[in-house]
Structure 1
Amino acid sequence: MDQTSLPFGTFETIKDWLDSEGDSWAGGNMLKKIHGEFPVPQNAKLRPPCPPSWYPNQFSGGDVSVIPNGRIWGKNGAILTPDNYLIGDVSFEGVHITSENHSIFKQKGLPSVSHYKNVADLTHVYSGNYYHYMYEVLPRIDLLHQSNLTINYYVVNEGFGERYQSETLKRLGIDERQLVPTHDHFHLQAEKLIVPSQPSFPTKWAYEFLRKTFSNPNTSSSDKKRIFIKRRWSRNFTNIDQLVELLEGLGFVTLELEDLSVANQVEIFSSAEIVIAAHGAGLTNLTFCQPGTKVLEIFAPTYIIPHYWAISALGNLRYHYLIGEPKDSSSGVKNEWAGGDNITVDIDKLKTYIEENLLA
């Protein structure tokens, strides 16, 4: 088969592909279930106003598949079968991009392949984001460890090497010399391509893995703090000075997380009594809060998603949310991505909410 030709089509999952093959690839294929599904706890009834379909009835399980002579293409890490089909759910390129519209089908052809032995896929299109890395990349290493498979190299996305990535890989005993970064013309074939599940929403097994690996059981529970997380980059508060003045007057400490190690962030959140923050990746660290910690997530009205509600549910946290004021359309400023919109919060409304729900 010509490995530089475009895929013949797509399968949504590896299981779909295996089912279509019957016994023809049975000599080396494997799909091993590591974790089962888990019902969504009913303890977090206060849900952000997202479409009902965004709230699963159960958190996804996790598995590991082996694809003999499987391939990885491109900077985002598309997974290709030996008979040249794209596997959609582990070749994710964005929330609005279907498998049929994957960028691989826009190519004139594929580059020649480089050959490896036992390779594991750790790519994710958003792996440069702290939340996506911590919940959608790092826990897959635990799936791989539990599979007991021999792995020589790990394929990661180009640009890999943020401080939190290096710190966490070191904690897991992964040698950076084992990392193979992708690039625009990347095309690798492995004798055994090992592909762990790529979740798109928090999972119980990822939550438990992160707590087991990074939580410090010696963190003092007597020194509880009220913390406000201030964002340095996008999705800032337009009236941040008034907000900080209010919160510090109520005993909150203002923190920026961007320059802190993962260990420092874990320590801060594990000793928090109350956490207030705009929706953003820093809230990934709710994973390390103690049960009963109060959380107030503040959204822009244009961008509301339930991921940190889910983490709060997994951790038995007392989750709350507020939605900022409607955006002033007369400003003429429009972001291509609504997630970049800044937030204006009604200070009086926020003060009342905090006093009645978080401090009462």
Structure 2
Amino acid sequence: MSDNFRAKLRKAKNQGVNSLKKFLNLPSQSKLYGPSGLATNWLDYNGYSQSDVAWQQVYPTIKCHWNPQKTTNWGRYTYNFTKNLKPEIPPTGVVIIPNGQVMDIQGYTFTKDDQFLVDVSYWRHRLGYANLPKEKYPTEKIKGTCLSLMTNASSNYCHFLLDSLPRLHLFYQAGYTLDDVDYILLHQPISPNAWSIFRQLGINESKCQWAKKNTTFQADTLIATTHPSLNLHHPRWLVDFMTKKIDLKPCQPQRRLYIPRPTGRRKVANEDELLSILTEYGFEIFKPEEEVNQPQVFHEASIIVASHGAALSNLVFCQPGTKVLELMSNGHLREYFFTLCQVAGLEHHYIIGKTTQPISYVGGLCFHDFIINPTFLTKALYFLTK
């Protein structure tokens, strides 16, 4: 076999793989690995009429206008936040599923015949990532009607706040009230702050069935909703719902917050070097884990500097015009808070730092700490505080 023939064969193979990745909405760097397991037998809203699932649309397709110019880079490395975003959010609504099933704290939702309802998950536009277990977990029965607020990664504060709780809005808009259900399935709030938000939503705790790992719940009648948005995307109604439901005292935003990330992954490795600069520009060190009313603190902020992480989901409570400087790792670039800033009317800025260890490719799933150049931070703060 000649070298020329090998090159042509390699090119043809790569073109075929890339075409399949595009069809499944996988990034070009990603390996094909889904749908797999229980996700191979899937159903979306286009097929509900051929099943026993009843579909109530709440919102039609929502057009998105993501503007790549609505962010400012203060570092050396740039990122196009809009390249992976979709131009629209598919129809959202409520599904009623006879003998419906919800599995694990990931909220995998199925019909009684084990069809995976992809629209309920954050894989609704990227089925290729749906890598589910091969078999269902042991089942516990729920008598009566159950509303599921479950979502993927529901034990994470960001997904609990932005993907789980806003499902209540779709439920209400479809004409239901909490009096219409016997049980509510969701992940137990993970912190005093999360409990405070949960209680302000008026959910009767006595009706709650907390999700469990490695357990499937099956209700006589299951009411679930589509994912409120799309992964990485947020609709404006989500911001309106959360800010109206949570008690936010009126104020003039003046606080300058720096949010450290002392534990977990993707920490700023040279944070101590940056603290003196932040202090010089009048920033207070705000530790969310010590605050039971995070929504109000973010509501009072005029400038927020923070590493990419779940704490920034509280941006949903900021007042329009708040300035946000997101510190990001070149090994983990995500659009969550760029899109949240756009729909909430916030001003997005960013600095990308290099990881402390080599990475296979830029923007993937990386847990390494990273370094922020102090000169870039100083330049950004000088502008943001003028």
TM-score grouping bracket, smaller chain normalisation? 0.7 to 0.9
Determine the structure 1 residue equivalent to 2:46.
16
The separation in 1 between residues aligned to 2:118 and 2:47, in whole angstroms, is 10
Determine the structure 2 residue equivalent to 1:209.
241
User: Residue 54 of structure 2: which of 12, 30, 36 is its match?
Assistant: 30
* Pair 1:57–1:185, CA change in 2 (3 A): closer
Q: Is the 8 A contact 2:96 2:223 kept in 1?
A: yes
- 1:102 counterpart letter in structure 2: L
Seq. identity, %: 23
Per mean C-alpha deviation after superposition, the further-off stretch among 164-173 and 240-249 is: 164-173
Determine the structure 1 residue equivalent to 2:164.
137
User: Residue 64 of structure 2: which of 24, 33, 40 is its match?
Assistant: 40
Find out whether 1:258 has 2:289 as its counterpart: yes
Q: What is the number of residues matched between the two proteins?
A: 333
* Pair 1:146–1:286, CA change in 2 (3 A): same
The separation in 2 between residues aligned to 1:328 and 1:182, in whole angstroms, is 37
The separation in 2 between residues aligned to 1:228 and 1:53, in whole angstroms, is 28
5 Å matches for 1:41-120?
A: 41=65, 45-47=69-71, 49-50=79-80, 52-59=82-89, 61-91=91-121, 98=128, 101-103=131-133, 106-107=134-135, 111=138, 113-120=140-147
How far is 1:94 from its partner? 12
How far is 1:211 from its partner? 1.2
The separation in 2 between residues aligned to 1:245 and 1:60, in whole angstroms, is 46
The separation in 1 between residues aligned to 2:372 and 2:201, in whole angstroms, is 40
Find out whether 1:172 has 2:201 as its counterpart: yes
TM-score, normalised to structure 1, is 0.82
The separation in 2 between residues aligned to 1:30 and 1:96, in whole angstroms, is 23
* Pair 1:245–1:207, CA change in 2 (3 A): same
The separation in 1 between residues aligned to 2:91 and 2:373, in whole angstroms, is 40
Determine the structure 2 residue equivalent to 1:347.
374
Q: Is the 8 A contact 1:50 1:306 kept in 2?
A: no
The separation in 2 between residues aligned to 1:339 and 1:46, in whole angstroms, is 26
Determine the structure 2 residue equivalent to 1:126.
153
Tell me the secondary structure at the aligned position of residue 54 of structure 1.
Answer: coil
Find out whether 1:314 has 2:338 as its counterpart: no
* Pair 1:280–1:210, CA change in 2 (3 A): same
5 Å matches for 1:286-305?
A: 286-305=315-334
* Pair 1:276–1:95, CA change in 2 (3 A): farther
* Pair 1:90–1:53, CA change in 2 (3 A): farther
Find out whether 1:225 has 2:255 as its counterpart: yes
How far is 1:251 from its partner? 1.2
Determine the structure 2 residue equivalent to 1:148.
175
Tell me the secondary structure at the aligned position of residue 117 of structure 1.
Answer: strand
The separation in 2 between residues aligned to 1:110 and 1:309, in whole angstroms, is 37
Q: Is the 8 A contact 1:215 1:288 kept in 2?
A: no
Q: Is the 8 A contact 2:331 2:354 kept in 1?
A: no
RMSD (Å) for aligned C-alpha atoms = 3.0
- 1:85 counterpart letter in structure 2: Q
Q: Is the 8 A contact 1:156 1:181 kept in 2?
A: yes
Tell me the secondary structure at the aligned position of residue 45 of structure 1.
Answer: coil
Tell me the secondary structure at the aligned position of residue 161 of structure 2.
Answer: helix
How far is 1:52 from its partner? 4.8
* Pair 1:184–1:244, CA change in 2 (3 A): closer
The separation in 2 between residues aligned to 1:211 and 1:136, in whole angstroms, is 15
How far is 1:97 from its partner? 7.8
How far is 1:171 from its partner? 0.9
Q: Is the 8 A contact 1:118 1:190 kept in 2?
A: yes
How far is 1:53 from its partner? 4.8
* Pair 1:42–1:306, CA change in 2 (3 A): closer
- 1:237 counterpart letter in structure 2: V
How far is 1:40 from its partner? 2.9
Determine the structure 1 residue equivalent to 2:279.
248
CA displacement, residues 310-341 of structure 1 (integer Å, 9 cap, x when unaligned): 11101221211110135344xx9xxxx94532
